[in-house]
Structure 1
Amino acid sequence: MLVIVRNEDISTHLFEIPRLLELKMSPDVWFAGIDEPQDLLNSTHQELFLGGGFVMLDQPSLESLNLDKVKRLLKLLQDLNKTEKWKWLLHYRDSRRFKENARIRTEEEEKNNLLSWSQEIGLSAVLPYHECDAKSRDHPDYLGCLVHLQVQNIAARFPVFLTDMKIADKFAKSGILTATLNSFLKRFST
């Protein structure tokens, strides 16, 4: 099955494709962005959602992240990167919190060192400062942010939001997979 999207609609309407997450989960579905119908015939279309993905954790999941789970997450991303590109994306304020906590406890320092190492080798990245990082916000607008990141990283098939909240339906409608950290580690390692 081929899902065709006009390139001009990608940023504003991509997340409105019915059953987008289900389509992405099927290996028999391909996505193409076109400017005009001839783009398909001339092979000048943009391939969308090729493979791989990116992971974002909500604040409570980050706060409960111990050193062992950081290691397991980074190891899994390293393994996944052998076949497709995967990355852990952090908000600026979460990255800053890692650095601040590193001054307090040794385990936090080790987590921060692992995060720095993972940034150096391209397994993780800190997002540029944006409205999610504003001090006036209690927490980021994860759904809006992930929808925006999905468009920015249009080659990534799976945006994954790791959380313990029961919000899967709202995110799935926008093409975003939600899971707990443990279920993600278990599901994607097999």
Structure 2
Amino acid sequence: MQYDVIVVGSGFGALTAAALLCKRGLSVCILEQAKYPGGCATSFKRKGYWFETGATTLVGLDEHMPLRYLLDETGIQLPNLRKLEVPMQVRLCNGDIVTRYPDLEQWIIEAERVFGKPGQRAFWEHCYKVSQQVWRVSLQQQSFPFSNAKDLLQAVASFKPSQLQLISGAFRTMEEVLRRFNLLDNRLFVDFVNE
């Protein structure tokens, strides 16, 4: 059989490239050496716990998120899509379990229950605001990081003044952010964030 493009591997990047090439009318073959496609997008179970094997950044079906963008761009439909009520739980070093709820308000209540109220709400509202800005800008600036002059020109053409809001945060360490919200002395929380 003849193909216009052969993609080696079936990780996030390869599958995304293949889907976008198919959208443009090209015939694509994907070659994968492993038993299952997905690369780092897979998981495994050991001793009663589920482990992610790698990348978790092609996330979210919410507005401005990469997976939503990819599905919209390719027209791929996920008919049996189901939102997980509990997408993640983490066992902390003290034995407590923290449940990472997708709803911001539920998550803040859980974080306050596990780590104590001081600083949690302000910290997580700040993180949520920044994450929303990052996802929005990542869809506006698709040629970043720059590989050539054409990428730079595309970035300039896609520039919006609101993107400048992220620059100051790019030079802040997590330690500085934790200090800002008076969370640096909360050892259990610092350990959770570091993980």
TM-score bracket for the superposition, by shorter chain length: under 0.3
Question: Normalized per residue, which structure has more strand?
Answer: 1
Q: Which has the higher contact order (CA 8 A, sep 6+)?
A: 1
Q: TM-score, normalised by structure 2?
A: 0.25
Structure with higher Rg: it is 2
